[in-house]
Every structure is written in C-alpha cells, then in structure tokens.
Amino acid sequence: MSVVVIDYNAGNTRSVYYALRRYGVDAIFTKDPEQIRAASKVIFPGVGEASTTMGFVREQGLNEIIPSLTQPVLGICLGMQLMCAWSAEGDTECLGIFDAKVKRFQPSEGQKVPHMGWNTIYNLDANLFPPDLEHKYVYFVHSYYVEMSAFTAATTNYCLPFSAAMHRDNFYGTQFHPEKSGSVGGQILQHFLNLP
Amino acid sequence: MLAKRIIPCLDVKEGRTVKGINFLELRDAGDPVELGKLYSEQGADELVFLDITATKEKRKTLAKLADDVARHLSIPFTIGGGIGSIGDVDTLLDHGADKVSVNSSAVRTPGLIDDLSYRFGSQCIVVAIDAKQVDDSWIVHVAGGSIPTDLELFAWAREVQERGAGEILFTSMDHDGTKSGFAIEALREMSDQLDIPIIASGGAGTKEHFREVFTEAKADAGLAASIFHFHEIPIPELKQFLKERDIQIR
C-alpha cells in the first residue's frame, strides 16, 4: 500500500507522518501530481490560516488534482475545511468537495475560542469509523468549524453541534486530529488505511 | 463537552526527567520518552516537557526531544525551556511539538508573544508564569523562579492574553512541591479575569486537590509532576475519582 501525505507548506505535518509509521506505513511526502494520483490512500493535512493555505494549494495546482482523485482521501483539520465550499476565514473560496460552509465559533460564557482539547464525537458514519467509538474523546484545536450538512460523518457539540467529520464518496475529513487522539485516533487512522 | 485535562509535567535536565522540591532538590525519575509513553497509555491528556536547566545554561533547542516524543506518542505535547526566538519555536514545531511555552524570554521581550502568535497561531503558544506572594501581591519570577521581576501576576497574565498567548501555565512557587493543594484563590482570580485556558501548576498532592482546581478555581487543566512520577496518584485512579464527582474527564 502506498500512502501519500500531501506536502504543500501546510504547517506541522510531521506528527501525521510519525503516526502512520506507528501503524507500519511509511508514507511519502509529496506534492507531485503523478505520485498523488498513484497512491492507494491520500492524506491532506493542514494547520494554519485558510486563505494563505488555500493559496499554497492553488500555487501547486492541487485545487485541480485533489477533487479529481478517486482513491480514499482524508483531510485533517484545516485540510477538511479546505475541502468545503467556502470559509469565513479570510473569505476563502475552497475546493468544494463538501457543499458546506466553514464559520467562526462565537465565544460565549465558559466556551473559549479556540476549541482546544478533548471532546466527544457521536452519530458516527460507519464508512469512516470502526464500531464502538460513539461518544469517545478525540483531540481538537480550531477556531473555525464546518456547519452541519448532508456530509456530516460525526458530530461534536461546542457552542453548537458542528461537523467533527465528513464523508462524500471517496472523500473523508476529520476536524479533530486522529494522529493526536491516542488509541481512538489510531483506530480511526487504521480504519481509513484499510478502506478498499 | 470539552474535558478538563490532566497533564503530567516532565522536567528535563540533560535528557533525563527530574523534579525539584521548590525547584532546588532534584530527583531522577527516568527517561522522558518512556515516561511520556507510560503516561499516554495511562490516560494523560497532554504532556509538558520543560528543560529546567535551559534558562541558566542558555541551551537553545530541544529539537531532538521534540522529535523523539512526536515519533512515539499520540497525544499532544508542549515543550519549553530557554525558548527565546521565532527560530527556536519554528524548529520545535517543525520537529513535531504541538505547542511551545515561553517564560523568561517573554518577560524580557513581551513583543515576542505577539510575534509568535502572529507567525504560528495562538493555539501553539503557551506562556508559562512562575509567581510567588511577596507581602500582599503575587510577583512574577524568572530564570527557574530565581529572579523576581517588577511584574504583578494578574496584570502580566492579562497582558500576555492581549498579546496573543493561547494558554497560560501558571505555577505558584509558594505551592510547588508542597503537596498542600493548588493556589486556588489566585487561580480563580485569573480565571475570572481571562478568556484563554489556564493550566494550574504547583501544589497537587491529592485527588481532591484536582477536584478543587477544576471546580473552585475553574482551571482548564491541572499539571503535576512528582505525584505522577513516584506513583503516588495513578492517573487512571485520579480520572475515575473526578468522573465520579461529575467533572468532565476523558
């Protein structure tokens, strides 16, 4: 199995790489379109600001390549947000794989922004999640969230219910960091790696 | 609901973890990566690695430690100790650290906090504050707690937040190593004044101390070292205790 982690100047991606190594996968870091197309699984990470990062995506021509992929693709954190239609962060046009919007959390009493730490996921889509992970804790760090939509594959409550994960055809996304979510995150990553 | 976090702190000196009583007597408690893995398996929510010798010896990077930890652990971790520049932070984040903490360097050059949060995002910038009570006020200390400053704790904490810190790690030097409980009053005051998460440190000796710090002091996370290193309070037992008292715990 060849796993590509898309390398496009998107912040801390080393932890994703090391996590894959812990599950016996030596991932390839690349932005080369041929290598990306040839991979059996593609991971699209992202940390940072949406408009800047989307700029890197366009510079590399990845805005054409990513939506055309047919193998399983997993966007993580900002990666998942960039797979949506539009982000309020920098009023950014995104990849449009998931027809949903990215909005900013409005801080309220006792609800600090960013949403940072361990929170629970529920209503899990069996395509992305192995059994028995309902209401388990995973690790989040984000100030913007994806609204609930037909593509929501897991829900988390913080200020309001939002999309903790998404799924459409061969495209998957997690707002949380599976690579930082202990054994629960490990199970989710392994399940993705084992997708047909 | 967002869980309250339990954070073991691993003070590192020359590649080994140590924990001082009031920072002065150091005792060896093992290999940082092995210890970190054990804590992760036991349910620690995050780890903090602090190179306690860094400020005095001006050691610049803990890049290798960051890399070793990122390789073997699947929970978030913070690295601190002698971090004084954008370049230091860039190196640590690039080597897999999720967050970095700055302390003395932020006191010397407060603008560093603005620069770091602008460049890397608030979420990965923790400002550590060590303070002790002098007469009636809490005074910030630097260089491992050895040098007093003219900064008052709450004013400095507010400034740190305004400059873009993502979290504050507050250590009460009066409580550190005493096992008599966290600085509840000061922490509550800080929680009331700030909007960013607060990690409480210094004084944990019993499970009840953690309940107090989460409910009465409204801290977001509780940090401790020796009680974990010397198996005085096993993390699974602590988490069970807190869950039974209706505190949101992973």
| Residues of A catalogued as catalytic | 77, 177, 179
Bridge partners, B17 (sequence order): B12
CB proximity list for B196: less than 8 A, separation 6 or greater? A112, B122, B161, B165, B166, B167, B168
Confidence bin at A41 (pLDDT 50/70/90)? very high
SS3 assignment, position B82: coil
Q: How far is B148 from chain A (nearest CA, A)?
A: 31
Q: How far is CA B56 from the centre of its chain?
A: 18
Which of B38-42, B112-116, B180-184 has the weakest average pLDDT?
A: B38-42
**In chain B, how long is the greatest CA-to-CA distance?**
46
Domain A3-193 homologous superfamily, CATH: Class I glutamine amidotransferase (GATase) domain (3.40.50.880)
A18, A48, A137 ranked by CB distance to B71: nearest? A18
Q: How far is A113 from chain B (nearest CA, A)?
A: 8
**In chain A, how long is the greatest CA-to-CA distance?**
49
Q: Does B94 touch chain A (CB under 8 A)?
A: yes
Please report the residues numbered 37 through 56 in chain A whose beta carbons come closer than 8 angstroms to any beta carbon of chain B.
47-49
At residue B61, does pLDDT exceed 70?
no
Place of tokens 């440190």: B201
Among the ranges B34-43, B73-82, B235-244, which has the highest mean pLDDT value?
A: B235-244
Residues of A in contact with B75 (CB under 8 A): 139, 180-182
Supply the ipTM of this predicted assembly: 0.90
Are A112 and B94 within 8 A, CB to CB? no
Q: Which residue has the higher pLDDT, B54 or A126?
A: A126
Looking at residues B16-21, what average pLDDT do you find?
62
Q: How far is A48 from chain B (nearest CA, A)?
A: 7
Q: Percent of chain B, pLDDT > 70?
A: 92
Q: Does B247 touch chain A (CB under 8 A)?
A: no
Are A114 and B70 within 8 A, CB to CB? no
Mutate to test the interface with B, among A133, A176, A180 (most CBs of B within 10 A): A180
Tell me the domain boundaries of chain B. 5-244
Q: How far is CA A148 from the centre of its chain?
A: 15
Q: Could you tell me if B45 and B221 are in contact, meaning their C-beta atoms sit under 8 angstroms apart?
A: yes
Q: Does B68 touch chain A (CB under 8 A)?
A: no
Burial of residue B11 (number of CB atoms within 10 Å: 0-12, 13-18, 19+): buried
Strand pairing of A152-158 and B137-142? unpaired
Q: Letter for the amino acid at A112?
A: K
Domain B5-244 homologous superfamily, CATH: Aldolase class I (3.20.20.70)
A vs B: CB pairs below 8 A: 77
What pLDDT digit, counting tens, does each position of B227-244 carry? 988 888 999 999 999 999
Are A12 and B3 within 8 A, CB to CB? no
A118, A180, A185 ranked by CB distance to B98: nearest? A180
Cα separations (Å) of A1 from A42, A143, A169?
11, 34, 20
Tell me the domain boundaries of chain A. 3-193
At residue B55, does pLDDT exceed 90?
no
Confidence bin at A10 (pLDDT 50/70/90)? low
- Measured CA to CA, the distance from residue B50 to residue B107 in angstroms comes to 17
Strand pairing of A160-168 and B16-21? unpaired
- Measured CA to CA, the distance from residue A117 to residue B111 in angstroms comes to 27
pLDDT recorded at residue B118:
86
Looking at residues A9-33, what average pLDDT do you find?
87
CB proximity list for A63: less than 8 A, separation 6 or greater? A54, A57, A95
pLDDT recorded at residue B24:
42
Strand pairing of A144-146 and A98-104? antiparallel
Q: Cis peptide leading into A130, omega within 30 of 0?
A: no
- Measured CA to CA, the distance from residue B109 to residue B31 in angstroms comes to 33
